[in-house]
Amino acid sequence: QKEVEQNSGPLSVPEGAIASLNCTYSDRGSQSFFWYRQYSGKSPELIMSIYSNGDKEDGRFTAQLNKASQYVSLLIRDSQPSDSATYLCASGGNTGKLIFGQGTTLQVKP
């Protein structure tokens, strides 16, 4: 069973801090990795994608991938209350099908 594991949280950080969200995956054949943000009652929204080992930065967001450890993370710098949401990690292989984790709930407190 191919799985993506995330700590469901909630992860609580103060406003302005760095939020660190983590994810592990079981399928070594996974080639692509995604972070989705889902606000309560809304649909998931793609915020980051990463395909190679290392870091990828986009504004306040940094995705990190370590294929040897089968580990993906998302760092959110200068966290804002508007970042409070559930963050879904997903992995994909050459089938085009994504496997999603259960999501981590982030709470950013003013």
Partner 1 sequence: ETGVTQTPRHLVMGMTNKKSLKCEQHLGHNAMYWYKQSAKKPLELMFVYNFKEQTENNSVPSRFSPECPNSSHLFLHLHTLQPEDSALYLCASSSRDRDLQGYTFGSGTRLTVV
Angle at 57 between CA 48 and CA 81, to 5 degrees: 70
- Of 36 and 84, CB closest to partner 1: 36
Is residue 46 within 8 A of residue 32, CB to CB? The reply is no
Separation CA 88–CA 21 (nearest Å): 10
Is 82 exposed, middle or buried, given 0-12, 13-18 or 19+ CB atoms closer than 10 A? exposed
Q: Is the dihedral of CA 95, 91, 39, 102 positive or negative?
A: positive
Minimum distance between the CB of residue 64 and partner 1, rounded to whole angstroms? 17
- Of 18 and 46, CB closest to partner 1: 46
Sites of contact with partner 1 (CB under 8 A): 4, 8, 31-32, 34, 36, 41-46, 49, 51, 88, 90, 92-98, 100-103
Minimum distance between the CB of residue 71 and partner 1, rounded to whole angstroms? 18
- Of 17 and 93, CB closest to partner 1: 93
Minimum distance between the CB of residue 19 and partner 1, rounded to whole angstroms? 21
